[in-house]
Amino acid sequence: MQNHTPGSYILPCLPDLLLFACICILSLSHTHNNFLAYILLPTCCLFSHVHEHHHHITQVRHAQGVHNVEGDTDHSAYMKPDFFDASITPLGWNQVDLLREHVKESGLAEKIELVICSPLSRTMQTAVGVFGGESCSNGVSVPPLMVENAGRPAVSSLNCPPFLAVEACRERLGVHPCDKRRSITEYRALFPAIDFSLIESDEDVLWVPDVRETFESLAERGMKFIDWLWTREEREIAIVTHSGLLSHTLRMYSKECHPTVAQEVSKYFANCELRSLVLVDRSMLGSDGPSYNNYPGKMKIPAGLDLPSDDKKQPLQNQSG
């Protein structure tokens, strides 16, 4: 791999990827309904030539959860009932504050049209903390995104995009109490301005105590979620979800890429890590493209104990994200 300016390098890709041949991070050859052929690209590049029908996807893994801390030293801790719907830690809130600062300073906050989050406390806390409004003021009549004592002072829903909870982007389902959600009735009381209308069941009917979702099922769910994103009219979307879903989904879509590219794409997300991708229909693109990929590296979010996923060099049954 040839080096260029700091944080910039050429990524080798498959010969059949004619467009963006030097910069594409992965090709999504998986198709549904015989018409979608996707390419995901890092948004550090200049995309003035990209067709208007695209989606800029900002992916964020939740901040450090209480289950991540103990699970690092004792993997059986993920089985503890005490970690039911785990919230984020004080360090996790610090991670949220730093990422929020970056999102605002970079101008990304002004571009986001929709925030989608997994309906678990740790993801909704992270989403609200990073992309939500400021602290609530007395006398404001609009419902807050998060009420006081749901993790920190109440967060306003003013001057921020709408928030939508979606079951399809949850963490791997089953067995681990930390991955079981509360009732939607409870969540609506804690996060009044988040839209839960797409969730059909008040109680968690997807999580079962004795069967862990397979990696294949998790990846398939993630790919269907990507397909659904394509149907959204919003072009700038932030997703706050889990490392298991992100990594297994991207791993499926990177199988045809050069091993170096595939390895980079499917790396596990650290707590509160942000990565941006562009989702486009390959058939709508021309053959021209920039030559280099400017990939400056990961956000400087303070590291915590964040062992997330079920297959990150640990026994499959003993981890959670």
What is the set of active-site residues?
62, 171
CB 205 within 8 A of CB 17: no
Residue 82 main-chain phi, psi, to 5 deg: -60, -20
How far is Cα 81 from Cα 66, in angstroms, rounded to an integer?
A: 12
CB 126 within 8 A of CB 240: yes
3: DSSP letter: B
How far is Cα 149 from Cα 21, in angstroms, rounded to an integer?
A: 50
CB 25 within 8 A of CB 261: yes
How far is Cα 193 from Cα 238, in angstroms, rounded to an integer?
A: 17
CB 51 within 8 A of CB 281: yes
How far is Cα 29 from Cα 35, in angstroms, rounded to an integer?
A: 11
Buried b (16+ CB within 10 A) or exposed e, 56-78: bbbbbbbbbbbbbbbbeeebebb
Residue 6, token pair as written in the block: 């700091």
**Range list of H helices, 78-166:** 90-105, 108-111, 121-131
Question: In this structure, which long-range contacts are made by residues 313-317, counting pairs with CB atoms below 8 Å and at least 24 apart in sequence?
Answer: 314/75, 315/75, 316/212, 317/175, 317/212
Query: Which residues have CB under 8 Å from 314's CB, separation 6+?
Result: 75, 307
Q: With left for phi above 0 and alpha for psi between -120 and 50, is residue 301 left, alpha or beta?
A: beta
CB 143 within 8 A of CB 196: no
